[in-house]
Structure 1
Amino acid sequence: MWLLNTETIELHQFSGPADVPYAILSHVWTNKEQSFQSTPRFGTPGSFGLFRWMLYPTSQKIRNVCAQARVDGFRWLWTDTCCIDKTNSVELSEAMASMYRWYECASNCYALLDDVPSVEVEDPRHPTSSFRRSRWHRRGWTLQELIAPCSVIFLSKGWKVIGDKHTLADLIEEVTGIDRYVLTHERRVEDCSVACRMSWAAGRETRRVEDEAYCLMGIIGVYMPILYGEGRNAFLRLQEEIVKKTPDQSIFAWG
């Protein structure tokens, strides 16, 4: 597991999420995300001083979330853009299978809603608020990123705090259809039927069709090999794994 040092903004490798306390970022990708290859690793030869910053320019998003994490007392941060070597198929598969646990083990999750203004500009509870319409609520992967962490702090496009998952639980329930007691961890995800959990993903979108299945693995509690290129077959495999590993028959009501 790679984590960013929030001071030096370089990657360090750890054996797992229990090694150190860390914060984690949840966001919607843009076309200008910082990659693993464009982020320096601890001990990278020749990556010193001005030359390092020219060789490894840091994106504004990474600078901002590291600054927020430092203010909140976190030395380490994980983000899916630059903490996974996506050119390594083994590492990518392991990361996707472990991602729910990584969000679950994070001390805090920052959810960046970059299409939502600050609370000084707009009340998130207003019936037509940007918070309710944010594309963050419609992405497939952000579903587990909302549910798994105990603490989620929502940030506006100006990196101002909108609120947290506990104080906004009733509003998020309205927007997403997820039981507020599941959101606040007063009710276990496992106590919800498979059909109920899959219904939370209804209407959500993913960049790749296979991710419609892969983003549900942690929430459902079943795991399978990652095979990009298999298309809709990924969802069929997910259903087969559910049937094999759980006695919950509610999946047959899904559709």
Structure 2
Amino acid sequence: MRLLQRQGNDSFRLVYRVDEQIPPYAILSHTWGSEEDEVTFKDVVDGTYKKRKGYRKLQFCAKQAAEDGLDFFWIDTCCIDKSSSAELQEAIGSMFRWYKDSAKCYVYLTDVSTKFFDYLDQFPESKWFTRGWTLQELLAPKDVEFYTTEAISIGRKSQLVSMIAGITGISMEALQGTPLSHFSVDQRMKWAEGRKTTRQEDLAYSLLGIFDIQMSLFYGEGRERAFK
């Protein structure tokens, strides 16, 4: 696992291989923009990350982590070297645990804005609730807080639990931390109904942590084979 560490106001460094002694860290949950927008691992290594539109996500996460007394944070777009298939497979297999072990999870909603009077009405309509990977990002962490695109807090999962249960169809018990093994396979599969991923295999791979499964990943095998 790699973590980002803030250095000053506008610079960051990657801290390599902290698996054995992982310090407290924040973690970001978000929906991806275009490939051209998101900050990548290579951008951080090369120091060119400020050119990307997604740089504001790093700024937000670093600032919020600092306010919460955390020196380190993790963002999927730039803490994983996706050019390495072995590293990508390891990361996907560890993702649920990384979210679960985080001190804070910040959900950054780019489509919910305080520029509009009814921004709280936008919250249930956010595309974040329709994506495959965000299911485990909602369920795994101990402390989840939602933010608008202007980095204004909407509230914690614990405060919004009734609303989130209504939006997602997930039971309040699961949202409040009851072990997922207490829920049937059918119940957990129902939580994932209607969610979308960019790659069809990820519809299955995004559920590995939900079901506590370890398996090899084969992108290109298709959705049906990935579920077998």
What TM-score, normalized by structure 1, do the two folds share?
A: 0.82
Equivalent position of 1:30 in the other structure: 33
Deviations 1:213-233 (A, max 9, x none): 000000011121111110123
The one-character-per-residue Cα deviations of 1:80-126 (angstroms, maximum 9, x if unpaired) are 000000000100000000000000000000001111123983363xx
Closer/same/farther in 2, CA of residues 165 and 11 from structure 1, 3 Å limit: same
Could you list the structure 1 runs, at least 4 aligned residues long, displaced by more than 4 angstroms after superposition. Answer: none
Residue of 195, 207, 210 corresponding to 1:204: 195
- What is the CA–CA distance in structure 1 between the aligned matches of 2:126 and 2:113, rounded to whole Å? 10
Q: Per-residue displacement from partner, 1:117-156 (whole Å, max 9, x unpaired)?
A: 23983363xxxx1111100000000000000001000000
2: CA distance, partners of 1:34 / 1:63: 11
The alpha carbon displacement at 1:6 in A equals 2.4
Q: 1:141 to 1:80 in 2, by over 3 A?
A: same
Which secondary structure state, in structure 2, belongs to the residue aligned with residue 167 of structure 1?
Answer: helix
Equivalent position of 1:226 in the other structure: 217
Does structure 1 residue 9 correspond to structure 2 residue 12?
A: yes
Question: 1:244 is matched with which residue?
Answer: none
Name the SS for the 1:87 alignment partner. coil
Aligned length: 220
DSSP-derived class of the 1:9 partner: strand
The answer for the alignment partner of 1:132 in structure 2 is 124
Q: Are 2:152 and 1:149 aligned?
A: no
The equivalences for 1:30-69 within 5 A come to 30-31=33-34, 32-40=37-45, 52=47, 55-57=48-50, 59-69=55-65
C-alpha distance in structure 2 between counterparts of 1:108 and 1:119, whole Å? 26
The answer to whether 1:82 aligns with 2:78 is yes
**In 2 relative to 1, CA 158–123 (structure 1 residues): closer, same or farther, beyond 3 Å?**
closer
Secondary structure (helix, strand or coil) at the match of 1:81 reads: helix
Flag structure 2 segments of 5+ consecutive residues without an equivalent.
none
Offset at 1:17?
7.5
**Cα separation, 2, equivalents of 1:139 and 1:65:** 20
Letter in 2 for 1:37: K
For 1:180 and 1:36, the matched residues in 2 are separated by 36
Instruction: Tell me the distance in 1 between the aligned counterparts of 2:20 and 2:59.
Output: 22
The CA deviation string for residues 50-91 of structure 1, in whole angstroms up to 9 with x for no partner, is xx5xx4536122112211111111100001000000000100
Distance in 2, Cα, partners of 1:17 & 1:80 = 20
More helix by share: 2
> Do the aligned residues in 1 keep the contact of 2:40 with 2:49 (CA within 8 Å)?
no
What value does the CA root-mean-square deviation take over the aligned residues? Answer: 1.8
Counterpart in the other structure of 1:109: 105
C-alpha distance in 1, partners of 2:128/2:170?
Answer: 15
1:146 counterpart SS class:
helix
1:19 aligned residue? 22
Q: Could you list the runs of 5+ residues in structure 1 that have no partner in the other structure?
A: 41-46, 238-255
Please tell me whether Structure 1 or Structure 2 has the larger radius of gyration of its CA atoms. Answer: 1
> Structure 1 CA distance, aligned partners of 2:140 and 2:75?
15
Higher mean displacement: 190-199 or 11-20: 11-20
Match for residue 240 of structure 1? none
